[in-house]
Amino acid sequence: MRYLSTRDSGERVSLEEAFLRGIAPDGGLYVPEALPAQDPGEFVGLTRPQRVGSKLLHPFFEGSSLEAALPEICEEALDFPLPLSPLNAGAAVLELFHGPTAAFKDVGARFLASCLSRLHTRADRPLTVIVATSGDTGGAVAAAFHGKPGVEVVVLYPAGMVSPRQEEQLTSWGGNVRAFRVGGDFDACQRLAKAALADPALREHRTLTSANSINLGRLLPQTIYYAAAALEYWLSRRKLPGFIVPTGNTGNALACLWAMEMGMPIREIVLATNANPTVTEFLRSGRWEPSPTVSTLATAMDVGNPSNMERVFHLFGGHAGARERLRAFRVDDEEIRRQIRLGPERWKRIWDPHTATAAAAHEQLGGEDWILVATAHPAKFEGVVEPLIGQTVPVPPALAAILERPASVEDIPPALDALRAALLV
């Protein structure tokens, strides 16, 4: 399989190049040349997501240096449960929050870490992964790469703009993970990461790469849990499920669209966004007009310019095609609060603010055979959730283990020479 940029400059690259580069030189995002058709009947009997993953992703890895290692990579990346748990007779919840940082991003980050640590074979210098984060991504990437030999992680996050629990997930690693608290906002962190990735002085001593959420190596593995959950639902209930996906940058929803396009038993996909209006306005008006980011309770979905929509447009052959195929619901903070409050009594569930958007869309949709995608554990957002439900949310063991580790962090200004000096000592 070869990969091309969404802004197709004619160039085709290998899987290895797409993973290591992250973003294409023309500024586009890497997509597979074709989505291989899969027959769901051939997955019968593969009950573990790891096995589903090896089969589903094999065509993407065929001919690459990682082909033989794919089953092992799937075992390493999916080393926590991804249960499909019943909500009622006509709905279920896909719980993606049992990993080390209690959100779905653990899956993609762990998979990419397993791939990159195998691709980097130079013993003379480290592979340095630079990640700018507004909170969640950095923690998942740090957890995924921690302890991987030959790899070093540089996390850049904005001082005073992440929650206390998020900060602990960014700073409690040590070893091959270095956390930098940057005196600036998230945009300043992103600019600093970009400058570092392009810096000749750093490049002389290190192989540099990024691990942000547009990397194909994070996206491909996300198709696995959709395939596994859809197969399980279809085989046990003999019906095609629709997925309701809490959406920010549209990566997770895109993975679900890819799984459906490959032939997995999925009826339809509905996007649930927070108050950020870009996607719902586009579907209403047909005009793609990214807008400034609005802050909401579902912080990891606070995106005004969802970058993976570029891949969605590519998949459906343009704006009109995407508009025909997608449905989305916009959920404001008041409605998020209402869903969280209702959760324990109506569903015996504690929703986190992101999953609450899916619960709201589900209520509006009505009907049967919906799978609500639970993207984070409520204990990550206890400050929002606990006052609304009047009870404390138990912290899951994997998250508790991280919160107990001592923190180490370095403060730097948002300047390349400061970061360079800290790295090249």
Ligand X SMILES: *Cc1c(COP(=O)(O)O)cnc(C)c1O
The closest alpha carbon to 351, from 297, 270, 277, belongs to 297
Q: In angstroms, give the least distance from the CB of 103 to ligand X.
A: 4
Give yes or no for residue 269 binding ligand X (CB under 6 A): no
Task: Identify residue 397 by its one-letter amino acid code.
Answer: P
Give yes or no for residue 252 binding ligand X (CB under 6 A): yes
* Helix extents (H) in 36-128: 49-61, 70-77, 105-119
Site for ligand X in 281-340 (CB under 6 A): 300-301
Give yes or no for residue 114 binding ligand X (CB under 6 A): no
The closest alpha carbon to 296, from 266, 263, 323, 334, belongs to 334
Given 98, 105, 120, 148, the residue binding ligand X (CB under 6 A)? 105
| Residue nearer to ligand X on the CB measure, 20 or 336 | 336
Q: By rule CB under 6 A, what string of x and - marks binding of each residue 29-58 to ligand X?
A: ------------------------------
Q: By rule CB under 6 A, what string of x and - marks binding of each residue 339-358 to ligand X?
A: ---------------x----
Given 53, 375, 385, 399, the residue binding ligand X (CB under 6 A)? 375
Residue 272 region, left (φ>0) first, then alpha (ψ -120 to 50), else beta? beta
Phi and psi for 77 in degrees, rounded to 5?
-75, -35
| Strand ordering across the sheet containing 30-32 | 12-13, 3-5, 30-32
Site for ligand X in 117-156 (CB under 6 A): 136
| Residue nearer to ligand X on the CB measure, 256 or 412 | 256
| Strand ordering across the sheet containing 84-88 | 84-88, 91-95, 370-374, 242-246, 268-273, 327-330
Mark the segment that binds ligand X (CB under 6 A) among 119-127, 247-255, 339-347, 389-397. 247-255
The closest alpha carbon to 8, from 22, 28, 23, belongs to 28
Mark the segment that binds ligand X (CB under 6 A) among 31-39, 225-233, 242-250, 283-291. 242-250
Given 166, 209, 215, 250, the residue binding ligand X (CB under 6 A)? 250
In this structure, are strands 177-182 and 151-158 parallel, antiparallel, or unpaired? parallel
Chain positions contacting ligand X, by CB under 6 A: 103, 105, 136, 213, 246-253, 300-301, 354, 375-376
